A and B are shown apart, each in its own frame.
Chain A
Amino acid sequence: MIKRTVDHTSVDEIIDRYDGEKSFLIQVLLDLQAEQHWLQKDALSRISERLEVPLMRIQHIATFYKAFSLVPKGRHQVHVCTGTACHVRGAGRVLHTVEELIDIRPGETDLDLKFSLETVNCLGCCALGPVIEIDGKAHGKVTSGKTAEVLKGYE
């Protein structure tokens, strides 16, 4: 288990952005996820304390939405589209290349916490297929070679 020193200041700062209002719980969690790439238990306890929301409820929400992760995620989220159009245009090969290059399977994160890999079912831009999306930026018409080039651009 990765143990980090408990740093409440960043959590508190996020909570203060929303004036400690409990109805902003999901927004607080989203901000925390964006900043730290995962939701640490200590942080969730702190949020529970400050927003006066039972920890159990926060845990329910944090496990309900796919946007949240209770385990560390990489700095960059790689989404390989395996929807029908991308699949037909060779998403399988692209996914295989990505798996080889960063040495992880979908759902996993590499040891350097640099990349997390997920497959998605459609990114809504089938004309650009096969598509990979990294941190929300879509890269269209990717090939094995182009995939390597794109991934190289991330630190």
Chain B
Amino acid sequence: MSDFTMRIDGREVPAARGQTILEVAGNAGIEIPTLCHHEQLEPHGGCRLCIVELDFGEWTRLVVSCVYQAKPDLEVRTRSGKVDKLRKIILELLLAHAPDSELLKELAAEYGANRTRFEQEPSFCVHCGLCVRYCAEVKGAHAVGFIDRGVRKEIAFLPEIAKEVCEDCKECFPLCPTSYAQAAYVLMDALSTR
């Protein structure tokens, strides 16, 4: 079902129309780090960790591979000086919010990110939206969602719905890169008495 080929890290790989670079790479066994991607969900482009460099010969361009559509004859680099530098900064920014996330710590070690570079401001949520989107798109339950905006944006479970559906589901907990979804649920459960 491959419509054309493109090059990723110097390898010729098959790709189909409508696929994103991330999907093409995944099928070819080339790993690109990401926090907000999930096979069953619409592409989100939230964490920006899957950033890759496109080589057009004279110039290059940085794109987010989970939302960028594959095209014939693309020359993609999943690791390069620019890409690594950006991923390092993104990780450092995320670590300011979730300094003890195992997943982030592993990635930080790989990219040499310093977890104390930015002032620690643990909100634990990195706004990947996995729990919110999974609950809405896959489960259709809408038990968890975002509230507020900007620096105050956070996830919140809606007690009325969560009480009905979450106990038997909890499928969003393992998706969370920081375990905050679970924490938010437990907190909501403890605070709502109904």
Write the residues of chain A forming the contact surface with B, with a CB cutoff of 8 angstroms.
45, 54-57, 59-60, 63-64
A57 to B161, CA, bound (A): 13
B110 at the interface (CB under 8 A from A): no
Tell me if A55 and B161 are in contact (CB < 8 A).
Answer: yes
Please give, as numbers and ranges, the residues of chain B lying within 8 Å of A59 by CB-CB distance.
145, 147, 156, 158
Known: A56-B145, A64-B149. 4 other contacts (CB 8 A): A54-B145, A57-B142, A59-B158, A60-B146
Q: Are A56 and B148 in contact (CB under 8 A)?
A: no
Q: Is the interface of A mostly helix, strand, loop or mixed?
A: helix
Task: Report whether A56 and B149 are in contact in the complex, using a CB–CB cutoff of 8 Å.
Answer: no
Number of A-B contacts (CB under 8 A): 29
Per DSSP, are chain B's interface residues mostly helix, strand or loop, or mixed?
mixed
B136, A63: Cβ atoms under 8 Å?
Answer: no
Q: Is the CB of B136 within 8 A of A54?
A: yes
Q: List 11 A-B contacts (CB under 8 A).
A: A54-B136, A54-B142, A55-B142, A55-B158, A56-B144, A57-B142, A59-B145, A63-B147, A63-B149, A64-B148, A64-B149
Interface check B160, CB cutoff 8 A: yes
Which 7 pairs, one residue from A and one from B, show the smallest C-beta to C-beta distance? A54-B142, A56-B145, A56-B142, A63-B147, A63-B148, A64-B149, A60-B145
B residues within 8 A CB of A55?
A: 142, 158, 160-161
For window 134-154 of B, CB contacts with A under 8 Å fall at 136, 142-149
User: With the chains together, A60 CA to B156 CA distance in Å?
Assistant: 9
Question: Using Cβ atoms and an 8 Å threshold, which residues of chain B touch A63?
Answer: 147-149
Q: How far is the CA of A57 from the CA of B136 in the complex (A)?
A: 10
How many Å lie between the Cα of A56 and that of B136 in the bound state?
A: 10
Q: Tell me the B56-113 residues at the A interface (CB within 8 Å).
A: none
- Distance, CA A63 to CA B146, complexed state (A): 9
Contacts of A57 on B, CB cut-off 8 Å? 142, 145
Closest to A56 in B: B145
Which B154-169 residues have C-beta < 8 A from chain A? Answer: 156, 158, 160-161
Question: Knowing A54-B136, A54-B142, A55-B142 touch, does A60 contact B161 (C-beta < 8 A)?
Answer: no
B66: min CB distance to chain A, Å:
23
Task: List chain A residues, Cβ under 8 A from B145.
Answer: 54, 56-57, 59-60
B residues 15-52 touching A (CB-CB < 8 Å): none
Interface centre among A45, A56, A59, A64 (most CB of B within 10 A): A56
Q: Which residue of A lies closest to B143 (CB)?
A: A56
Q: How far is the CA of A60 from the CA of B129 in the complex (A)?
A: 13
Residues of A contacting B142 in the complex (Cβ-Cβ under 8 angstroms): 54-57
A78 to B146, CA, bound (A): 29
Residues of B109-127 at the interface with A, using a CB-CB cut-off of 8 Å, are none
